[in-house]
Structure 1
Amino acid sequence: MRHVIALDVGGTGMKAALVGADGELLHQARRATGRERGPDAVVASILDFAAELRAYGERRFGEPAAGAGVAVPGIVDSGRGVAVYAANLGWRDVPLRALLTERLGGVPVALGHDVRTGGLAEGRVGAGRGADRFLFVALGTGIAGAIGVDGRVEAGAHGFAGEIGHIVVRPGGIPCPCGQHGCLERFASAAAVSQAWAEASGDPEADAADCAKAVESGDPRASAVWRTAVDALADGLVTALTLLDPRTLILGGGLAEAGETLFTPLRAAVEHRVTFQKVPTIVPAALGDTAGCRGAGLMAWDLLTPTAPTDPSEVTT
């Protein structure tokens, strides 16, 4: 059976899959990234993992993988196939595509940004399936987005399209590592809610999921923390909607796991803020933690099918 290798590299773990032409996950595997051993060891682990998947595919399907796709965090130059920078992995200017192509016997390899890759999957085969324009927003440690148009994901001229976590929603507010004050992700990311609830509850171990549960139980302190986050998120999203006019807005990441505890007040807050804009369908992500692998697989298949929409998560440097 014809298949491709898909890798989703995270700060602590790697998810991998063999993906069929229809997007089916034929085999899945996981392993630790091993970042504590240094950036060179992380690259070696990626190459070894890919080679093991290639060997497994040959044994199971009687033929080697036709290509490979890999999603990585940080700054990515997909045009050159280089992982430019990732703070949590400690690497700079890693020619990952060339290294994987060599290790995998010369097959074509696609390299993409992790959020845009996950967004590609959600837009094409997940919660945004059938939408000509969608916006995928991941509410995790930070907040990042993927802008989808006609089955492809835009990266922008310099590779930073979709970084809505750095829309300033509270001018003069909390300092952000990006150098601004009052960025959206300082108020509405899962990490921001976790920090705010830990302080409000007096429990340093409390996180965003605990805050959501406390909201559901009627805790007024939790409700105040949650309202602050929802209001900031609505402000940021309405700015994005005004600029991009998506048909579907897909929310994923840790904060979205709160389900209707998030979505019900958020939909109301967005609707309250819009004037002339059209409110998109606001839905939770559908693919869970398989989105990155599915998106990496789609990127690989796009390399093998030139007429298909591609993921232009490219940085021109």
Structure 2
Amino acid sequence: MFKAILINKDDQGYHSVLSDVDEQQLPAGDVTVKVVASTINYKDALAITGKAPVVRSFPMVPGIDLVGEVLQSDSKRFSVGDKVLLNGFGVGEGHWGGLAEKARLKSDWLIPLPSAITAEHAMAVGTAGYTAMLCVLALQKHGITPEQGEVLVTGANGGVGSYAVRLLSKMGYQVVAATGRPDESAYLKKLGAVDILPRSQFSEPGKPLQKERWAAVVDCVGSHTLANACASTRYGGAVAACGLAQGMDFPSSVAPFILRGVTLYGIDSVMRPLADRVQAWQQLSDILSPEDFDTISHVISLDQVIESATALLAGKVQGRVIVKMA
């Protein structure tokens, strides 16, 4: 038996509880993992609270991230005792995820845990930091350098935004953070932001073309925020879009792309090829230090997950939440 957060659905709605689960209930997979740590992402919080139809089958163990030790393996890629890491691939939505003491998974979803990162630090990063790294890599491949000017990060107080600010800052970029929580400006400046702008400056409808300011943008918000960010990006700049907290719509025009040569990159982290994952995690382990992980995260236990998920959706959680198993 092991402990897990279980989500069920009935006529009264979604129900999430901390339960004792028999190992025989684990889904099919060729690798069984003792989960050392997981984390709570925005998608996990939606699943746990039932605020959005994230879960595709019931019962479901949420948790799109996990790190752990291989207990049993029928895969040539991994052996018993290997430290492994997982992000995405529909885990926590259609296949039991990481908010449990054990998981059974497909080996094709796993990568080795980088030797320079501890299990807890890997979950301080999680899908949020890994997505932020994918955004930064897209900007670098576009040719954006620190000398070209300011880089805007929207939704900067969230997990992806926090890591985007920190990564870009440590790589020498001038980072401007947009946030709806101006009272937390000190946190963003500690991460390396040189300026803080209010969310309201971007969240309302704006002109198709605005004054050129940003060499590049990491957008975690979508909707009008993304449209305004594109409209104010400088000629030849790039925008990496990875979030939809404000909405899935894109109320913009082709003007920034045709008249200024702006490029919009869509950043998917869920089904990303393994080679991209390994590259992103290696970069994360090279750039970030233990102090970075500790600044951006805090630790809770499995029995605090449901309460923390509610707080996250209410905008009361800063940075990342690590869920450490007993």
Q: TM-score range by the shorter chain?
A: 0.3 to 0.5
Instruction: Please give the TM-score of this superposition, normalised by the length of structure 1.
Output: 0.36
Higher relative contact order (CA 8 A, sep 6+): 1
Instruction: Please give the TM-score of this superposition, normalised by the length of structure 2.
Output: 0.35
Q: Which is richer in strand?
A: 2
Q: Which is richer in helix?
A: 1
